[in-house]
């Protein structure tokens, strides 16, 4: 019996700690975020927009992400039930990629349309990209979330010294770390 009591107490402690951890972590996941959100500067990197909910109960039917300056070679994830479209912007001066090809335009926005993604479910929308070689910089990816009824604009960028989570509807970000 003493062994069973200890096991029950340990299980209760574990469940309480897990619930507390989820409660503390949830606010960070109530927004659209990029995961992972840190990357080595100047590398090819795979990440995904994590969409944890719709708009006040309404399902998500589109997601449009703006790609920040300096990011190149963007390739979005193809998702069953969603159509992907890209818009481009010119860059001046042009750059050369690793194959020596001159590049004079880059992806400006990526949009996924379809679904729908119900409000009570989550999904991820992936990207592969080449990041700029600027360690210490934070890149913001403003996102417009369109729902069947309504929309959210995850476009706000914190001021210098302001915490990301203190901004209403903050833009997802990637922090660039020194490359190894």
Using a cut of 0.85, tell me whether the model's pTM lies above it.
no
Contacts of 5 (CB under 8 A, 6+ apart): none
**pLDDT of amino acid 130:** 97
Rounded Cα distance between 108 and 64, Å, is 10
Banded pLDDT at 97 (limits 50, 70, 90): confident
**pLDDT of amino acid 165:** 85
Around Cβ 88, how many Cβ atoms within 10 Å?
Answer: 13
Which of 143, 173, 164 is CA-nearest to residue 34?
A: 173
Which of 124, 107, 164, 132 is CA-nearest to residue 40?
A: 132
Check whether 7 has a pLDDT greater than 90.
no
Check whether 26 has a pLDDT greater than 80.
no
Cα angle 75-132-95, degrees, rounded to a multiple of 5: 80
> Taking every pair of C-alpha atoms in the chain, what is the biggest distance, in angstroms?
76
**pLDDT of amino acid 68:** 98
How far the first Cα of the chain sits from its last, in Å, is 54
- 132 or 22, which is more confident? 132
Q: What is the mean pLDDT of the segment spanning 59-81?
A: 97
**pLDDT of amino acid 15:** 39
Q: What are phi and psi of 32, to 5 degrees?
A: -75, 130
Check whether 32 has a pLDDT greater than 80.
yes
């Amino acid at each position: 019996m003493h062994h069973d009591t200890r096991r029950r107490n340990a299980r209760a402690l574990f469940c309480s700690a897990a619930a507390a951890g989820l409660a503390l972590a949830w606010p960070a996941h109530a927004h659209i975020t990029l995961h992972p959100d840190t990357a080595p500067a100047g590398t090819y990197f795979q990440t995904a927009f994590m969409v944890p909910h719709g708009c006040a109960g309404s399902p998500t039917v589109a997601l449009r992400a703006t790609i920040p300056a300096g990011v190149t070679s963007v390739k979005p994830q193809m998702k069953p039930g969603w159509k992907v479209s890209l818009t481009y912007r010119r860059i001046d001066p042009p750059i050369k990629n690793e194959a020596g090809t001159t590049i004079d335009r880059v992806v400006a926005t990526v949009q996924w349309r379809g679904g729908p993604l119900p409000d009570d479910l989550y999904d991820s929308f992936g990207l592969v990209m080449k990041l700029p070689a600027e360690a210490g910089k934070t890149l913001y990816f403003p996102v417009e979330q369109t729902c069947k009824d309504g929309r959210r604009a995850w476009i706000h960028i914190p001021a210098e010294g302001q915490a990301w989570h203190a901004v209403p509807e903050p833009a997802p970000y990637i922090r660039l770390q020194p490359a190894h």
